[in-house]
Amino acid sequence: MVAIGVAVAATITLVCLPAPAPLRAPAPAMPATLAAAWPKARVDTVPGLLPTGDTYQMAAVLDDGATVGIASRPQRPGSRLVVVSHRNVRVLASITQAGVPGFTAIATDAARVYWAATVDVAGSARTSLWWASRRGGAAHRLVADAGPATFNQSQYDLQVSGGRLRWVDANSARSVPVTGGAVAVRPIPAGYTPLAWPWFTSPAGLYDAAAQVRTSVRVGPGATCGRAWCRVSRRGELDLLRPDGSDRHRLGGGSAAAALVDVTPLDRFEVVSVAAPAGASGPPLSELLLYDIRRRRSVELAATAASVHARAGYLWWSTVVAGTSSWHLLNLRNLG
Give 118-148 pLDDT, tens digit per residue: 999 999 999 999 999 999 999 999 999 999 9
Q: Does 174 score more than 80 pLDDT?
A: yes
- Model pLDDT, residue 336: 86
Instruction: List pLDDT tens digits, range 196-245.
Output: 999 999 988 999 999 999 999 999 888 999 999 999 998 889 999 999 99
- Residue 5 CA from chain centroid, whole number: 57
- Model pLDDT, residue 158: 98
The arithmetic mean of pLDDT across residues 74-83, rounded, is: 94
How far is 149 from 144, CA to CA, in rounded Å? Answer: 12
In the chain, the percentage of residues whose pLDDT exceeds 90 is: 79
CA triple 228-195-101, angle to 5 deg:
140
Q: Does 9 score more than 50 pLDDT?
A: no
How far is 328 from 48, CA to CA, in rounded Å? Answer: 10
Q: Does 29 score more than 60 pLDDT?
A: no
Is the bond leading into 77 cis (omega within 30 degrees of zero)? no
Q: What order do you get walking across the sheet with 164-168 strand by strand? A: 159-161, 164-168, 172-177, 184-187
- Model pLDDT, residue 283: 60
- Model pLDDT, residue 212: 96
- Which of the four pLDDT bands, split at 50, 70 and 90, describes residue 181? very high
- Model pLDDT, residue 250: 95
b/e sequence 266-276, b meaning 16+ C-beta within 10 Å: eebbbbbbbeb
Which has the minimum average pLDDT: 4-18, 121-135, 150-164, 170-184?
4-18
How far is 209 from 199, CA to CA, in rounded Å? Answer: 6
- Model pLDDT, residue 276: 72
How far is 133 from 108, CA to CA, in rounded Å? Answer: 10
- Which of the four pLDDT bands, split at 50, 70 and 90, describes residue 282? low
Helix (H, G, I), strand (E, B) or coil at 26: coil
Tell me the pLDDT of the chain averaged across its residues: 89
Rg (CA), the chain: 24
Which has the minimum average pLDDT: 12-16, 79-83, 99-103?
12-16
- Do you know the residue count of the chain? 336
CA triple 143-202-198, angle to 5 deg:
50
Greater confidence (113 vs 29) lies with 113
Instruction: List pLDDT tens digits, range 31-71.
Output: 899 999 999 999 999 999 999 999 999 999 998 789 999 99
Residues pairing with 287 in the sheet: 274
- Model pLDDT, residue 323: 86
The arithmetic mean of pLDDT across residues 300-314, rounded, is: 96
Instruction: Give the residue from 187, 179, 185, 135 showing the smallest Cα distance to 160.
Output: 179
